[in-house]
Amino acid sequence: MLVNHCALKDKYCYFIDRYYDKIPFMRVVKQKAYDGFSCVNSECSDNCCHGWQIDIDEDSLSYFREYKGALKSLIDEAVDYENSCIKMNGNGHCALLNKKGLCRLVLEEGEDVLSTVCHMYPRHVEEYDGLREWSISLSCPVAADTLIRNTGKNEYVCEEDDLPDPLEDDFDDFDTFFFTRLCDSRDVIFDILDNNKLSIYSRMKHILEFGKKLQGLLEENDIIGMDDIIDEYSDGEKLLNDPSDKESLVKMVFENDPVLYRMERLDHKWDDELVMLNLFHEKHTADEISSFDLSLLNAPDHEKILENVLHTFIYTYYLGAVYDDEIYAKLSMSVFCTLLIDELFVIGCIMEDKEPVIEDYVHIAYRFAKETEHSDINLDMLEEHCDKL
Ligand code: SF4
């Protein structure tokens, strides 16, 4: 295993080499926080084994069907074989949990018998030709806490795995030529996002403009033309601050947040947030959100929190444009979701007359991610909506 730590700066050469079939191995990228994540199990404030549907993959279903050990009757009671998911008990908890909130399968048979979802969560993987990217999901309170409280630069660890790419045959139609531009442009997007000479709102505006230009070129089938736009936005000195960006972005989110009412509901607790949002809209304005004092947030400060959340969304979704050509929609959705979390946090402070504290920020961020990131219906709806913003 070759390991190097980088900020994804050497990808261009890697993919050009791969394009000419010179490199036969996979590159694996992870958020720097990835390896340090550790589940707190029964100590968790919102254990992931309740409140939503837990799917079971085909291999695990077969294993549970054929299992003949001491837990057979418990497994058969807990597994919905017809709908390939775990049955929840009357309290909405996984029927395999014991009274202490621990998984009886793990306690008695070890982690190897867990289904893929249970084994992996909150770890998430995105696959590309020659590249596998791992992240921890904002929907887990512990992962959200780690990602949001980061006071340093958002960094990624690259590892080169010299084992053959097991998925190589799945990528016959993969557009490596376009993918190199997506990788290069994401580096530039991260540079803009890390440029704290600009307000976070101006950084968001530049990222959206950049994405719109790339999308325009893609629609003209001018992939090579993207190189000029990538060069243009690489020079951070040319990007300007505009104090009106905050107001216009907050207003845009306020006018579009009703999209949340149309989303598929995964956990009924999310209804409380929607009721609060609705009440706020009846008597308050976007200006109250823009002018709300967030200076009490200081480790990290408010702008750094926004930077951290936006990094997470862009890292997770942006390169997926190689499969559907939706560059701008993915960036717009990332910015919109970041600002929606922020808006819901500020609304909670105003409506409940509370001081802004980071624990409440983490809470609303993971609750939002739990409702959106684990439903293809919700993700597709948000992306489609954001494409028009
Ligand atoms: S939500 Fe995260 S910390 Fe909590 S039980 Fe699940 S994986 Fe563990």
Which atom in ligand 1 lies closest to the alpha carbon of residue 121?
Answer: 7
In this structure, the strands spanning 131-136 and 25-31 are: parallel
Q: What's the pLDDT tens digit per position in 282-315?
A: 999 999 999 999 999 988 999 999 999 999 999 9
pLDDT of residue 114: 86
Q: Is 54 in the pocket of ligand 1 (CB under 6 A)?
A: no
Task: Round to whole Å and give the CA distance between 125 and 320.
Answer: 11
Q: Which helix (H) or strand (E) holds 2?
A: strand 2-5
Q: How far is the CA of 286 from the centre of ligand 1 (A)?
A: 34
Q: 161 phi and psi, to 5 degrees?
A: -100, 120
Q: How far is the CA of 8 from the centre of ligand 1 (A)?
A: 29
Contact 5, 106 (CB under 8 A): no
Of 2-6, 108-112, 376-380, which one has max mean pLDDT?
A: 376-380
Cα–Cα distances in Å, from 246 out to 27, 188, 249, 252? 38, 22, 5, 10
Better-scored residue on pLDDT, 268 or 303: 303
Task: Round to whole Å and give the CA distance between 358 and 389.
Answer: 29
Q: What pLDDT band is residue 66 in, cutting at 50, 70 and 90?
A: very high
Signed CA dihedral, 66, 68, 69, 70: sign only: positive
Torsion angle defined by CA atoms of residues 223, 310, 149 and 196, in that order, rounded to the nearest 10 degrees: 80
Task: Round to whole Å and give the CA distance between 136 and 146.
Answer: 10
Q: Is 106 in the pocket of ligand 1 (CB under 6 A)?
A: no
Q: Is 140 in the pocket of ligand 1 (CB under 6 A)?
A: yes
Q: What's the pLDDT tens digit per position in 202-227?
A: 999 999 999 999 999 999 999 999 99
For residue 121, which amino acid is it? Y
Give counts: helices (H), strands (E), the chain. 17, 7
Under DSSP, the state recorded for 85 is: E
Domains of the chain, residue spans: 2-39+121-165, 49-120, 177-387
pTM for the structure as a whole:
0.90
Q: Is 350 in the pocket of ligand 1 (CB under 6 A)?
A: no
Give the number of other Cβ atoms within 10 Å of residue 370's Cβ.
Answer: 24
Q: Is 74 in the pocket of ligand 1 (CB under 6 A)?
A: no
Residue 171, pLDDT > 80, answer no
Please choose from 38, 48, 94, 145 the residue to mutate so as to test ligand 1's pocket, defined by most ligand atoms within 8 A of CB. 48
Residue range 115-119: mean pLDDT, rounded: 87
Q: Is 137 in the pocket of ligand 1 (CB under 6 A)?
A: no
Which atom in ligand 1 lies closest to the alpha carbon of residue 39?
Answer: 8
Give bridge partners of residue 88 from the DSSP assignment.
Answer: 94
Q: What pLDDT band is residue 92 in, cutting at 50, 70 and 90?
A: confident
Q: What pLDDT band is residue 343 in, cutting at 50, 70 and 90?
A: very high
Give the 3-state secondary structure of residue 31: strand
